[in-house]
Chain A
Amino acid sequence: EVELLESGGGFVQPGGSLRLSCAASGFSIGNFAMSWVRQTPGKGLEWVSSISATGERTYYTETVKGRFTISRDNSKNTVELEMNSLKDDDTALYYCAKEPVLYYYDNWVDPWGQGTQVTVSS
């Protein structure tokens, strides 16, 4: 069964850092791009970042560029999201999700993990 399990969320003060991890099972992530999508009650679902299958291309939504870094270790079947200079607006449930092809483009994401909560507050 294809599964994704996120970890690393928590409570952090503005300006702080967190590192999220996504462990995949049931498939090899090396054949697929991977993405992070976040969800808040007020703003709904928002795509955050994606990384191509081999890691040579990374993509970010404008609001996190320069603060977040996505990476992957295909040998460990994991994807990570390093989040720095966190702001209140980054508070959300962060989902890891699988893209169906090598690169992030006009496609769907499925499946999604269960999410890890990030709360940024003073």
Chain B
Amino acid sequence: QSVVTQPPSASATPGQTVTISCSGSSSNVGSNYVYWYQQIPGTAPKLVIFRNNQRPSGVPDRFTGSKIGNSASLAISGLRSEDEAAYYCAAWDDTLKGRVFGGGTKLTVL
């Protein structure tokens, strides 16, 4: 099991807002930046949020990252069918001295 946990699945209808959680500990999420990756089936992961809440160029502002304590969240507003993908959070772990990934959340757009 990963040291950073995510719900395995989430779903919402087009236009709605969905929030995906990422729970860690003081050695990772609580003390370091959180990153979010989107993986559309059959493709490689793509960065959508870096340093907790920063969006790379080209990522719509419908994607919002936040962090409080040992937990982080990715919110996607105005949900669209093309947002259907797996989403992974990641953080540096001070104890393991390495990057750790959450188990991923499969988002279904109903």
Contact = CB atoms under 8 A, between A and B. Distances in A.
Contacts of B88: 44-45
A58 interface: no
Contacts of B44: 95, 111-115
A45 B101 contact: yes
Interface residues of A, number: 21
B105 to A, nearest CB: 10
Query: Which of A47, A95, A106, A111 has the most B CB atoms < 10 Å from its CB?
Result: A106
B62 interface: no
Interface residues of B, number: 23
Contacts of A105: 92
Please classify the interface of chain A as helix (H, G, I), strand (E, B), loop, or mixed, using the class held by over half of its residues: loop
Contacts, number: 51
Given A110-B56, A112-B44, A44 B101 contact: yes
A107 B47 CA distance: 11
B27 interface: no
22 contacts: A35-B99, A44-B2, A44-B104, A45-B101, A47-B99, A47-B100, A47-B101, A61-B98, A95-B44, A104-B99, A106-B92, A107-B50, A108-B90, A109-B99, A110-B47, A110-B56, A111-B44, A112-B44, A112-B45, A113-B44, A114-B44, A115-B44
Given A109-B47, A113-B44, A115-B44, 20 more contacts: A35-B99, A44-B101, A44-B104, A45-B37, A45-B45, A45-B90, A45-B101, A47-B98, A47-B100, A59-B98, A61-B98, A104-B99, A106-B32, A106-B33, A107-B50, A107-B92, A110-B46, A112-B45, A114-B43, A114-B44
